[in-house]
Chains A and B, each alone.
Chain A
Amino acid sequence: MEERTIEIRPPGVASKEVPRMMRSQAGGQEPAGIPESNATLGGLFEAIEQDRKFETVVHDSARDDNPVLEIQEFRLWYGEAQALHDVSMICPQGKVTALIGPSGCGKSTLLRCVNRMNDLIDSVRISGDMLLNGQSIYDKGVDVIELRKRIGMVFQKPNPFPMSIFENVVYSLRIDGERDRRVLQEVCEQSLRGAGLWKEVKDRLDSSALALSGGQQQRLCIARAIAAEPDVLLLDEPCSALDPIATGRIEELIEELKGTYSILIVTHNMQQASRASDFTAFMYLGRLVEFGSTEDIFLQPKLKETEDYVTGRFG
């Protein structure tokens, strides 16, 4: 077990010194267990709020030599405000990893960084690195378009295109130049079935996607994401607008997908996290607090704060 202190600089200073992209050379150094220092902190959240020294707790169960995604000391600033502090974690191949934490703690930010959606925001600066199958995502020579084809994403807010339902689902095939109507229809049906939307829309595939209800739109976005057959699927609160039946359907879908795809899912629903995920990461104020297998996090959390959060006693 290795002790590491993380130097936390005032944002103003950091913004000038930290280069926009910096590959971390320190691979495979995830700290695990409870560092002594954390135990003595008294209130962990208080310590984080006061920007004091703090160490992520990583369970042994969450170690994998061959993860599909590896996040290394990732920091992110929105202008002057730091939104992610030294996040280091992995997503194992073919497994479901859940990100939980209170609102505004940086879950969506972290997720967006995985397929470099944050490039589109001018004020964003980052340091640290992410590796997809051992290759850097943030390297200068990386083709972002190709990367995004491998990492699909479902956003927190449903965002269907103002086109027909059919065109929405097969969008990724369209941009790849697929013209075969049979293939498109096949993929459309499969994806919609997968997202549990087929029954509701099969008779009106050609009507506007904007006429769907909010929950249906979200499932449509999921269908659109899985139609692209990505390696990694990022789901940002996919079920927040869904009823329990649809939620169940999505969870089934996640279950079906998980062998083939690796999934990173953000959720506020603890039952969902415990039911559907294999690994769980608990974040607080831009920091990764505790990371381990879902069983460990929910049944034997090492931190009291984690336990409070997952059992709903938080706050």
Chain B
Amino acid sequence: MKPRATGTRRPRKTRFSVTFSEGASRALITVGGIGTIAAVALIFVFLLWVVVPLFTAPTVEAAERLSAGSLEAPRAVLIDEYQLLASTLDADGTLRTFDFASGEKIGERKPLEQRPSAVSLSPEGRDFAAGFEDGSVRIGRFGYRSYFPPEAELAPELRAIEDGVVVRYEDGVLQRVQDGALRFQGIDVELSDPLSMRKSTPIERIAHTARDDGMVLCVWTDGGLIFVETEERTNFLTGEVVLDLSETELAYEPDPSRGTPDYLLLVGRGDNVLLLWEDGRLERVDVRDPESASVVEVVDVVPADGEVVTALSFLIGKSTLVVGDSTGAVRSWFRIKPEAAGTPDGTVFVPAHRFGSTGSAVTALAPSPRSRLISVGREDGTVQIYQATTEALLVELEVGPDAIRALSMSPKEDGLCVLTAADEVMRWDMDPRHPEADLTALFAPVWYEGYEQPAHVWQSESGTDEFEPKLGFLPLIYGTLKATLYSMLFGAPLALFAALYTSEFLSRRLRTPIKSIIEMMASLPSVVLGFLAALVIAPVAQTVVPATLVSFVTLPLALLLGAYLWQLLPQRLSIRWSGWQRLCCMGLALPVGVLSALALGPWVEGLLFAGNIELWLDGQRGNGVGGWLILLLPLCALLWTLFGGRALGPWMRRRSANWSRHQCAVLDIAKFGVGIAASIGVALLVSSLLDGAGYDPRGSYVGTYVQRNALIVGFVMGFAIIPIIYTLAEDALSSVPEHLRLASLGAGATPWQTAVRVIVPTAMSGLFSAVMIGLGRAVGETMIVLMATGNTPVMDMNIFNGFRTLSANIAVELPEAVQNSTHYRALFLAALVLFAMTFTLNTLAELVRLRFRKRAVQL
């Protein structure tokens, strides 16, 4: 064999070091790749881990039962926070306490001393008011009390109690708790002295509610209503607390044929009195001003004939009244404020929710003391627990054959206590989980208390238990999409055109520096952009709203006009000047557009927007024509362009075939002018017609101006997504094989024709994925929307209104969400939704890119 130039024969065996590094690098790459996938998967799994408990079913488990002996007429059953004690309250005011551990009665008292003629218990059964035959009232509070008695004072056998063991002590129980201390748990009653009222007729019905400055009462006595406000006063000398009553006899004329109402209730903070008769007639008396109180509304809460109200209860907050009747129907009612209420006080009492279908008669209703759960006890011995807002049935129990007399939910909502007609007290351990955040509540419109109709609402902050968290995701998703849409509307075309310009029209020498500069924009922290938007751009834009609007028209017009004027140049000149001179002229069009917008702004404002655009947007003055005009003008211009291109173009071309270049240019300018005039004319005509037909653009795409709005965000976030879209798009365009460009140019196509007909279609996959990745960025962008929107979770398309995105919402609320609370998990769900959105976008982008790349490979 001929020796090779190197003098040695080429070794056929691969060297060990080569094989080794091959294997090592392969292993490293595999580990890295799998690691990345695993990391993403782990994030996903973690999010799921936190979110899944939102959707797990509530649990309930029978725990203890005891016999209460024989009760006369039990009004209520109560259970303490640690679920050690149960208490029953009889109609005669007897309070009996039982101990679950021993199953025995450990105390019985009669704090009221005499039998009350009327009692009112707050829904969570903690404060109450009682009226007596002699016309006096007593108000008070009773509840469980726990304290740690000093061990030294206790008997030795008590000191020896072991962990978890419950021992009776006085009228309560002792229990050694986790940190070793002995805790006493017992019932405690605070009671005012009998307060005599002006009238001493027997009190037949009484209602009470708590206000910040004291209890408010309403009593039915002597066939009339008396409204009582109490005020605590401390005697400075004795230190005694005295209660002052201020009574107002309400000007309520009872219907003598109806007699005493069966139930008397005070709504909320005591602004309405409800009188309810057994047959379902409910009269609502407005007592905001007791002096001039009057019946404002009468409704029938039991629509079925001959059926009667058998149980009723307020939900926490005393705004929603839950009524159970003898048909077994349970409905909840609250007041709403519709536009055409038709009642003197502008509110209407509506049956908003209905729980389950009718069944056995309702005998007891008990709300949860901390959320919007309502437990329903029935004649046939079944108990259901519903979420009062979503109407979801959480738990259904078959307690036994006996009717349910009373029931209550423990303060921590972890237990349910039931008193049956057989005087048995039973307890269940339960865990309702997160009933206020099921799929309906998250994604479907929900009728919240006080809302006119079912709505999507996000309002998670919960200062008090009375506040109902509203976890509708749609406003957030909507806000995310709105931010994305408006920023893409602004950023994507700009980025794509910039990419097209650099790759197809800019000389190669300038291309690299310009590309680097635009890419450097990406390194601008978004918090800086957000800051600029919120503190610089938003206030400035507010002062020039009309000019900003007008600039959307004048800027393109100035550029187009410049282009048409350029055509007027003699051909030799225009070709010779096609370099920097043309660029300068293009640059000149921009300030011209901006300046004319500034100059025209006030004039347009006066003409179209009744002189003040913010008031106009607010709907306070002017008519809809101006808004329609601004909205329709671009549309008309587009239609004109299409019409001009399709219909008029060939005809004009035929006519002007032999014309000189100059003549053609003049014709073009004329066409342009006519086009503008025609667009404005058509837009004005259609606007007037639309306005005449009663359509007003305000309230949909335009509306009340908020300083930090979607327009500002769209503009600034556009800047954030421009670099990424630009870079990817430019790469895609420049990777189109050069020979295609040559082929097209060689066939006599202009660079623009080449770009539009050959380069862009060929690079479509890349352009598409650039836009999609920009979209992904816009969806997940946090800082800018956090700072430059008002973060109001509203759902409207109004470009001048703010919004709240999923990401900003997480950033704002996660720090203050209690770990593992519904709110916390809902925020993680928001993260998951966001993750899913960006994941879908990016996957879609990748799939499309791969599909198109197959085509590109063949080139």
Give chain A residues whose Cβ lies under 8 Å from the Cβ of B744. 161, 171
Q: Are A228 and B747 touching (Cβ within 8 A)?
A: yes
Cross-interface CB contact of B762 among A120, A162, A174, cutoff 8 Å: A162
Cross-interface CB contact of B575 among A143, A160, A175, cutoff 8 Å: A143
A129 to chain B, nearest CB (A): 17
The contact string, 1 if C-beta is below 8 Å from chain B, for chain A 130-160, is 0000000000111101101100110101011
Give chain A residues whose Cβ lies under 8 Å from the Cβ of B749. 145, 171-172, 175
A112 to chain B, nearest CB (A): 9
Q: Roughly how many angstroms separate A177 CA and B740 CA in the complex, as a whole number?
A: 20
Cross-interface CB contact of B748 among A161, A208, A228, cutoff 8 Å: A228
Give chain A residues whose Cβ lies under 8 Å from the Cβ of B650. 177, 179
Q: Are B757 and A175 touching (Cβ within 8 A)?
A: yes
Q: Roughly how many angstroms separate A105 CA and B677 CA in the complex, as a whole number?
A: 60
The answer, yes or no, to whether B858 is at the interface (CB within 8 Å) is yes
Q: Are B859 and A162 touching (Cβ within 8 A)?
A: yes
Known: A161-B758, A210-B859. A224 touches B747 (CB 8 A): yes
Q: Are B747 and A177 touching (Cβ within 8 A)?
A: no
The answer, yes or no, to whether B682 is at the interface (CB within 8 Å) is no
The answer, yes or no, to whether A89 is at the interface (CB within 8 Å) is no
The answer, yes or no, to whether A221 is at the interface (CB within 8 Å) is yes
User: Closest chain A residue to B742 by CB distance?
Assistant: A117
Give chain B residues whose Cβ lies under 8 Å from the Cβ of A161. 740, 743-744, 758, 762
Q: Roughly how many angstroms separate A51 CA and B92 CA in the complex, as a whole number?
A: 128
Q: Are B509 and A162 touching (Cβ within 8 A)?
A: no
B580 to chain A, nearest CB (A): 15
Q: Are A155 and B742 touching (Cβ within 8 A)?
A: yes
B513 to chain A, nearest CB (A): 15
B738 to chain A, nearest CB (A): 8
User: Closest chain B residue to A168 by CB distance?
Assistant: B743
Q: Roughly how many angstroms separate A245 CA and B744 CA in the complex, as a whole number?
A: 28
Give chain B residues whose Cβ lies under 8 Å from the Cβ of A122. 507-509
Give chain A residues whose Cβ lies under 8 Å from the Cβ of B740. 159, 161-162
The answer, yes or no, to whether B820 is at the interface (CB within 8 Å) is no
Q: Roughly how many angstroms separate A163 CA and B764 CA in the complex, as a whole number?
A: 13
Q: Are B575 and A140 touching (Cβ within 8 A)?
A: yes
The answer, yes or no, to whether B2 is at the interface (CB within 8 Å) is no
Tell me which residues from 509 to 544 in chain B have a Cβ below 8 Å from any Cβ of chain A.
509
Q: Roughly how many angstroms separate A161 CA and B758 CA in the complex, as a whole number?
A: 7
Give chain A residues whose Cβ lies under 8 Å from the Cβ of B198. none
User: Closest chain A residue to B857 by CB distance?
Assistant: A210
Q: Are B757 and A174 touching (Cβ within 8 A)?
A: yes
Interface centre among A117, A153, A161, A211 (most CB of B within 10 A): A161
A256 to chain B, nearest CB (A): 21
User: Closest chain A residue to B856 by CB distance?
Assistant: A162
Known: A122-B508, A175-B753. A141 touches B745 (CB 8 A): no
Q: Are A141 and B575 touching (Cβ within 8 A)?
A: yes
Known: A140-B575, A143-B571, A210-B858. A159 touches B509 (CB 8 A): no
The answer, yes or no, to whether A115 is at the interface (CB within 8 Å) is yes
B763 to chain A, nearest CB (A): 10
A113 to chain B, nearest CB (A): 13
Q: How many residues of B contact A (CB 8 A)?
A: 32
A157 to chain B, nearest CB (A): 6
Cross-interface CB contact of A157 among B739, B762, B856, cutoff 8 Å: B739
Q: Are B572 and A141 touching (Cβ within 8 A)?
A: yes
Q: Roughly how many angstroms separate A162 CA and B737 CA in the complex, as a whole number?
A: 11
Tell me which residues from 77 to 113 in chain B have a Cβ below 8 Å from any Cβ of chain A.
none
Q: Roughly how many angstroms separate A152 CA and B858 CA in the complex, as a whole number?
A: 25
The answer, yes or no, to whether B258 is at the interface (CB within 8 Å) is no
Give chain B residues whose Cβ lies under 8 Å from the Cβ of A153. 746
B514 to chain A, nearest CB (A): 15
A132 to chain B, nearest CB (A): 14
Give chain B residues whose Cβ lies under 8 Å from the Cβ of A145. 748-750
Give chain A residues whose Cβ lies under 8 Å from the Cβ of B653. 177
User: Closest chain B residue to A179 by CB distance?
Assistant: B650
Give chain B residues whose Cβ lies under 8 Å from the Cβ of A221. 743
A146 to chain B, nearest CB (A): 8
Q: Roughly how many angstroms separate A220 CA and B744 CA in the complex, as a whole number?
A: 14
Cross-interface CB contact of A117 among B508, B571, B746, B858, cutoff 8 Å: B746
A141 to chain B, nearest CB (A): 4
The contact string, 1 if C-beta is below 8 Å from chain B, for chain A 93-124, is 00000000000000000000001010010100
Give chain B residues whose Cβ lies under 8 Å from the Cβ of A140. 572, 575-576
Give chain B residues whose Cβ lies under 8 Å from the Cβ of A211. 858
Give chain B residues whose Cβ lies under 8 Å from the Cβ of A143. 571, 575
The answer, yes or no, to whether B587 is at the interface (CB within 8 Å) is no
The contact string, 1 if C-beta is below 8 Å from chain B, for chain A 215-237, is 00000010011001000000000
A181 to chain B, nearest CB (A): 14
Known: A172-B748, A174-B757. A141 touches B743 (CB 8 A): no
A281 to chain B, nearest CB (A): 22
Give chain A residues whose Cβ lies under 8 Å from the Cβ of B742. 117, 120, 155, 159
Give chain A residues whose Cβ lies under 8 Å from the Cβ of B15. none
Give chain A residues whose Cβ lies under 8 Å from the Cβ of B507. 122
Q: Roughly how many angstroms separate A155 CA and B859 CA in the complex, as a whole number?
A: 15
The answer, yes or no, to whether B761 is at the interface (CB within 8 Å) is yes
Q: Are B571 and A141 touching (Cβ within 8 A)?
A: yes
B39 to chain A, nearest CB (A): 38
A153 to chain B, nearest CB (A): 4
The answer, yes or no, to whether B855 is at the interface (CB within 8 Å) is yes
User: Closest chain B residue to A176 by CB distance?
Assistant: B748
B138 to chain A, nearest CB (A): 91
Q: Are B747 and A152 touching (Cβ within 8 A)?
A: yes
Q: Roughly how many angstroms separate A140 CA and B575 CA in the complex, as a whole number?
A: 7
Q: Roughly how many angstroms separate A120 CA and B747 CA in the complex, as a whole number?
A: 14
Give chain B residues whose Cβ lies under 8 Å from the Cβ of A115. 746
Q: Roughly how many angstroms separate A213 CA and B855 CA in the complex, as a whole number?
A: 15
A134 to chain B, nearest CB (A): 18
The contact string, 1 if C-beta is below 8 Å from chain A, for chain B 108-143, is 000000000000000000000000000000000000
User: Closest chain B residue to A230 by CB distance?
Assistant: B748
Interface centre among B740, B743, B855 (most CB of A within 10 A): B743
Q: Are B743 and A162 touching (Cβ within 8 A)?
A: no
Give chain B residues whose Cβ lies under 8 Å from the Cβ of A149. 747-748
Known: A120-B742, A155-B742. A141 touches B748 (CB 8 A): no
Cross-interface CB contact of A148 among B747, B856, B858, cutoff 8 Å: B747
Q: Are B858 and A172 touching (Cβ within 8 A)?
A: no
Known: A162-B761, A175-B757. A155 touches B748 (CB 8 A): no
User: Closest chain A residue to B748 by CB distance?
Assistant: A149
Cross-interface CB contact of A172 among B508, B747, B750, cutoff 8 Å: B747
Q: Roughly how many angstroms separate A149 CA and B744 CA in the complex, as a whole number?
A: 11
Q: Are A155 and B739 touching (Cβ within 8 A)?
A: yes
Give chain A residues whose Cβ lies under 8 Å from the Cβ of B508. 122
Q: Roughly how many angstroms separate A179 CA and B649 CA in the complex, as a whole number?
A: 11
User: Closest chain A residue to B509 by CB distance?
Assistant: A122
Cross-interface CB contact of B743 among A159, A175, A210, cutoff 8 Å: A159
Give chain B residues whose Cβ lies under 8 Å from the Cβ of A228. 747-748
Known: A143-B571, A145-B750, A174-B757. A159 touches B745 (CB 8 A): no
Give chain B residues whose Cβ lies under 8 Å from the Cβ of A155. 739, 742-743, 746
User: Closest chain B residue to A143 by CB distance?
Assistant: B575
User: Closest chain B residue to A158 by CB distance?
Assistant: B739
Given contacts A141-B572, A175-B748, 10 further A-B contacts (CB under 8 A): A117-B746, A143-B575, A161-B743, A162-B740, A162-B856, A162-B858, A162-B859, A172-B748, A174-B757, A177-B650
Q: Which residues of B contact A (CB under 8 A)?
A: 507-509, 571-572, 575-576, 649-650, 653, 737, 739-750, 753, 757-758, 761-762, 855-856, 858-859
Write 28 A-B pairs (CB below 8 A) sorted by A numbering: A117-B742, A122-B507, A122-B509, A140-B572, A141-B571, A143-B575, A145-B748, A145-B749, A148-B746, A152-B747, A155-B742, A155-B743, A155-B746, A159-B737, A159-B740, A159-B742, A162-B740, A163-B761, A171-B747, A171-B757, A172-B747, A174-B757, A175-B747, A175-B750, A175-B757, A177-B650, A221-B743, A228-B747
* 5 pairs of A and B residues whose beta carbons are closest in the complex: A149-B748, A141-B572, A159-B739, A148-B748, A159-B743
